[in-house]
A and B are shown apart, each in its own frame.
Chain A
Amino acid sequence: MSESEITEHKLTQLKALEAESIHIIREVVAEFRNPVMLYSVGKDSSVLLHLARKAFYPAKLPFPLLHVDTGYKFREMYEFRDNYCKEVGADLIVRRNEDAIAKGMNPKDFGVARCCGLLKTQGLLDALEEGEYDAAFGGARRDEERSRAKERVFSMRDEFGQWDPKNQRPELWSIYNGRIHEGESVRVFPISNWTEMDVWLYIREEKIPIVPLYFAKERLMVERKNMLIPYYEEMKDQLLEGEEPKMVMSRFRTLGCSPCTGAVRSSATNMDEIVIEAAAARRSERETRIIDHGSNSMEDKKKEGYF
């Protein structure tokens, strides 16, 4: 074998990650009765969905997408979700915790933890139970947060959808043990080993469509506690003293609910500029999510069943 042939047989790190993720997605479809893919409309979900399409090509996706909607997502996210799912022919299920929404659940009056607990965690657990799904794919990455760094690719959940981090199932080589008892389920994280940088590089490389909010633009924002919060007309009454909406060149590194996700000042209007910005970032993307602030919050939420 000549030198050039040998180098030809090396996968770049991005292609190696892709191959690993596709293997995981296929293993789940082979071993579970009724899988579902959680789709949050964010960049990680976009990558996950893209990998799933690659995994089963030329067939259609063998599972539906589930969006657990809080009702507080950005307008642009709903638009993108509906258009993109139609375009790729994905079967989209949208579920909301209607009870809590009817009671007017919101982060300002009830607190972020309570709001997230009901709209996201409870909403998710209810939707998984209703659909009788035994496996749910999620786009969480280990580099996001230190308790996520501890999670297996196949993460076992008991009958209550809860995670027991002190007693995780061993996971050896790339042999995944998908055997569960009635009522138990697994959360599967095919992009566990991807970093934020990998995700951006892959989106750029594969030209994966993402919500336009990820690209910088002059946007109407209010500045609150060091965070840039997008301003919409409906928020008029919620402005705090001294706050005044102003146009700021900004974009989002991560997308969650509009009241709780901050933007960052940025001039990155295309994928190259985003990748360059990600490489220079000194602060993690989770910093723009209010839910993650406070001690230990992600681990506690995960134990309760949050992604």
Chain B
Amino acid sequence: MTELNIKMTKEIELLRLVTVGSVDDGKSTLIGRLLVDTKGAFEDQLLAVRKQRGAETVASAAEIDLAMLTDGLSAEREQGITIDVAYRYFATPKRKFIMADCPGHEQYTRNMVTGASTASAAIILIDARNGVMQQTRRHTHILGLLNIPHLIVAVNKMDLVGFDQKVYEGIRSEMQAYCEKQGVQDLICIPMSALEGDMVAVRGENLAWYEGLTLLETLETLSALGDIDSKPFRFPVQLVNRPQTAELPDYRGFMGAIASGTVKVGDEVVVASTGLSSKVAEIVTFDGNLQEAFAPQSITLTLEDDIDISRGDMLVHPQAVPSDTKELVANVCWIGSEPLSVRKKYLLKHTTSTVKAMVNSIDFRRNINTLDKESADELEMNEIGQITFKLLKPLFYDSYADNRSTGSFIVIDTFTNNTVGAGMIV
């Protein structure tokens, strides 16, 4: 590594990835494989998961249990399954990756949603022997709702079906049809063997009929960031900074992370809840004031006028204000053990504000196999549906399709304090 390389390592982009799919389809094995092949795992970590004790070094991936690299809990290794998300990291000269390895078991869907919610690309693993399973569809549907920009189908365990192209094509067309039905446009499909490494980081010799990129090449060339900085300015206020010191007696700064868009000194901004407006006086950071800032930077804004703003308020662009409503319609992925039902009360946390809400209606429940709408009185754990909430006070929002930050919320059970639902505003 040289001076130039240091600069590159610092300046490469971040891509958040997630692996999903049905139980035992090879998600953890694939992540183990990627870690080994990109040298993202250290020798002592590899030694700890080798199949036979005694050896001083690990010469090849065949000597270790790849899934054990990521299945970090003792209960997981005991049962040979993944229970909760593991976050692993690796970098290539082109990019740094944060990978969330999700559990396949239906029981742990809540953990899959956790891992997927921040991802910009998802790898859906399918065991070539079993094809598309119910859990594959559930995960794919959730990815669709979460609006994950890039979906990659990995038809795995090709070694167990003799690397047969027909098997691959069958699964590929079934997945393509399922995804098209819910509006997902471009689906990338790759045949592979996570265990043996074919088409993961290297092409191997067994899948010569496949002409596309390897998984790693694909990951390195996906467009990394969304277009959050080209959307209208949204700035949910986290805190008001009032040092009240001798040097800064009257200072009032509004602290937050820019959810979308850009802001410049002198820009007019409006408080969404009150309609009051002012101009940006300063964009303050520890490293000096900025002329311009953009999502997802964390900054502090001072305004020219002294207007009433507190946590939970949102500063927005005057010509593109968010919608407001006391009747919120959203797709909800239910992850609480107690079912959601009509008239139940919850708290919704949306950006930095938390509001009381009541379930007004369950508009429909989605059948994840057929994607049909069904009527329902309750949403049980792991079910997905469209819900209308009545809110105690208005919420300022964008649709999830337009803006992931201002279009999402979590549902909190007021009794247990647990997070029981993931909401995506329609």
The answer to whether A and B assemble together is yes
Please list the residues of chain A having a beta carbon within 8 angstroms of any beta carbon in chain B.
1, 9-20, 22-23, 26-27, 29-30, 53-60, 142-143, 145-150, 152, 165-166, 168-175, 177, 179-181, 192-193, 195, 197, 201, 204-205, 272, 275-276, 279-284, 286-287, 296, 299
Inter-chain contact B88/A165, CB cutoff 8 Å: no
Q: Is B9 an interface residue (CB 8 A)?
A: yes
> Which listed residue (A15, A19, A30) contacts B239, Cβ 8 A?
A30
- The contact string, 1 if C-beta is below 8 Å from chain A, for chain B 182-216, is 00000000000000000000000000000000000
CA distance A282 to B2 in the complex (A): 18
Question: For residue A272, which residues in chain B have a CB less than 8 angstroms away from its CB?
Answer: 3, 6
Please list the residues of chain B having a beta carbon within 8 angstroms of any beta carbon in chain A.
1-3, 5-6, 9-14, 42-45, 69-75, 83-89, 91, 96, 98, 110-111, 113-114, 117-118, 225, 229-230, 238-239, 241-243, 245, 248, 251, 253, 255-257, 262, 284-287, 294, 296-298, 300, 311, 335, 347, 349-352, 404-405, 408-410, 412, 417-419, 422
Inter-chain contact A150/B85, CB cutoff 8 Å: yes
Inter-chain contact A13/B13, CB cutoff 8 Å: yes
- Among residues of A, the one whose C-beta sits closest to the C-beta of B258 is A19
- Among residues of B, the one whose C-beta sits closest to the C-beta of A21 is B298
> Which listed residue (A145, A165, A171, A286) contacts B114, Cβ 8 A?
A171
CA distance A272 to B9 in the complex (A): 13
| Minimal beta-carbon separation of B126 from chain A (angstroms) | 25
CA distance A54 to B253 in the complex (A): 13
Inter-chain contact A275/B1, CB cutoff 8 Å: yes
Question: For residue A205, which residues in chain B have a CB less than 8 angstroms away from its CB?
Answer: 10
- Listed by A's residue number, 21 A-B pairs whose Cβ atoms lie within 8 Å are A13-B12, A23-B238, A26-B255, A27-B352, A54-B287, A58-B248, A60-B243, A142-B89, A149-B72, A150-B73, A152-B114, A165-B83, A170-B335, A170-B419, A172-B114, A177-B410, A179-B412, A279-B9, A283-B42, A283-B43, A299-B73
Given contacts A9-B262, A149-B87, whether A177 and B417 have CB atoms under 8 Å apart is: yes
> Which listed residue (B11, B86, B241, B251) contacts A150, Cβ 8 A?
B86
- Among residues of A, the one whose C-beta sits closest to the C-beta of B333 is A172
Question: For residue B251, which residues in chain A have a CB less than 8 angstroms away from its CB?
Answer: 58
| Minimal beta-carbon separation of A4 from chain B (angstroms) | 14
Given contacts A12-B10, A172-B114, A172-B408, whether A55 and B298 have CB atoms under 8 Å apart is: yes
Inter-chain contact A29/B73, CB cutoff 8 Å: no
Question: For residue A13, which residues in chain B have a CB less than 8 angstroms away from its CB?
Answer: 10-14, 96
Beyond known contacts A12-B10, A165-B84: 19 more, CB 8 A cutoff? A12-B12, A54-B287, A57-B286, A59-B242, A59-B245, A59-B248, A149-B72, A150-B85, A165-B73, A171-B117, A172-B419, A173-B404, A177-B418, A193-B87, A276-B2, A279-B5, A280-B1, A283-B44, A284-B42
Question: For residue A26, which residues in chain B have a CB less than 8 angstroms away from its CB?
Answer: 238-239, 255-256, 298
- Among residues of A, the one whose C-beta sits closest to the C-beta of B108 is A166
Question: For residue B91, which residues in chain A have a CB less than 8 angstroms away from its CB?
Answer: 195, 197
Inter-chain contact B44/A19, CB cutoff 8 Å: no
Given contacts A13-B12, A173-B408, A282-B42, whether A58 and B6 have CB atoms under 8 Å apart is: no
Inter-chain contact B297/A11, CB cutoff 8 Å: yes
| Minimal beta-carbon separation of B44 from chain A (angstroms) | 5
Question: For residue A169, which residues in chain B have a CB less than 8 angstroms away from its CB?
Answer: 418-419
Inter-chain contact A53/B286, CB cutoff 8 Å: yes
Question: For residue A166, which residues in chain B have a CB less than 8 angstroms away from its CB?
Answer: 73, 75, 83-84
| Minimal beta-carbon separation of B32 from chain A (angstroms) | 11
Question: For residue A181, which residues in chain B have a CB less than 8 angstroms away from its CB?
Answer: 417
CA distance A272 to B2 in the complex (A): 9
> Which listed residue (A29, A192, A281) contacts B42, Cβ 8 A?
A281
Which residue of A170, A173, A197 has the most chain B CB atoms within 10 A of its CB atom? Answer: A170
Question: For residue B87, which residues in chain A have a CB less than 8 angstroms away from its CB?
Answer: 142, 149-150, 192-193
Question: For residue A283, which residues in chain B have a CB less than 8 angstroms away from its CB?
Answer: 42-44
CA distance A5 to B286 in the complex (A): 24
Question: For residue B239, which residues in chain A have a CB less than 8 angstroms away from its CB?
Answer: 26, 29-30
> Which listed residue (B69, B74, B296) contacts A11, Cβ 8 A?
B296
Of all A-B residue pairs in the complex, the 8 with the closest CB atoms, nearest first, are A146-B72, A22-B298, A59-B243, A284-B42, A54-B286, A13-B14, A57-B286, A179-B417
| Minimal beta-carbon separation of A263 from chain B (angstroms) | 16
CA distance A142 to B88 in the complex (A): 7
Inter-chain contact A170/B417, CB cutoff 8 Å: no
- Among residues of B, the one whose C-beta sits closest to the C-beta of A282 is B43
Given contacts A147-B72, A149-B88, A177-B412, whether A10 and B418 have CB atoms under 8 Å apart is: no
Inter-chain contact A56/B10, CB cutoff 8 Å: no
Inter-chain contact A193/B98, CB cutoff 8 Å: yes
Question: For residue B300, which residues in chain A have a CB less than 8 angstroms away from its CB?
Answer: 57
CA distance A25 to B118 in the complex (A): 18
Given contacts A10-B225, A26-B298, A58-B248, whether A195 and B89 have CB atoms under 8 Å apart is: yes
Question: For residue B3, which residues in chain A have a CB less than 8 angstroms away from its CB?
Answer: 272
Question: For residue A197, which residues in chain B have a CB less than 8 angstroms away from its CB?
Answer: 9, 91
Given contacts A58-B251, A279-B5, whether A146 and B45 have CB atoms under 8 Å apart is: yes
Question: For residue B297, which residues in chain A have a CB less than 8 angstroms away from its CB?
Answer: 11, 15, 19
Given contacts A147-B72, A174-B118, whether A19 and B257 have CB atoms under 8 Å apart is: yes
Given contacts A177-B349, A296-B74, whether A59 and B241 have CB atoms under 8 Å apart is: yes
Question: For residue A143, which residues in chain B have a CB less than 8 angstroms away from its CB?
Answer: 88-89
| Minimal beta-carbon separation of A155 from chain B (angstroms) | 12
| Minimal beta-carbon separation of A228 from chain B (angstroms) | 16
Inter-chain contact B284/A58, CB cutoff 8 Å: yes
Inter-chain contact A146/B69, CB cutoff 8 Å: yes
| Minimal beta-carbon separation of A10 from chain B (angstroms) | 6
- Among residues of B, the one whose C-beta sits closest to the C-beta of A22 is B298
Inter-chain contact A150/B349, CB cutoff 8 Å: no
Question: For residue A1, which residues in chain B have a CB less than 8 angstroms away from its CB?
Answer: 230
CA distance A149 to B111 in the complex (A): 14
Question: For residue A299, which residues in chain B have a CB less than 8 angstroms away from its CB?
Answer: 72-74
Inter-chain contact A175/B409, CB cutoff 8 Å: yes
Question: For residue A286, which residues in chain B have a CB less than 8 angstroms away from its CB?
Answer: 44
- Among residues of A, the one whose C-beta sits closest to the C-beta of B259 is A174
Which residue of A9, A18, A60, A192 has the most chain B CB atoms within 10 A of its CB atom? Answer: A9
Inter-chain contact A27/B238, CB cutoff 8 Å: yes
| Minimal beta-carbon separation of A179 from chain B (angstroms) | 4
Question: For residue A146, which residues in chain B have a CB less than 8 angstroms away from its CB?
Answer: 45, 69-72, 86
Inter-chain contact B298/A172, CB cutoff 8 Å: no
| Minimal beta-carbon separation of B114 from chain A (angstroms) | 5
- Among residues of A, the one whose C-beta sits closest to the C-beta of B116 is A172
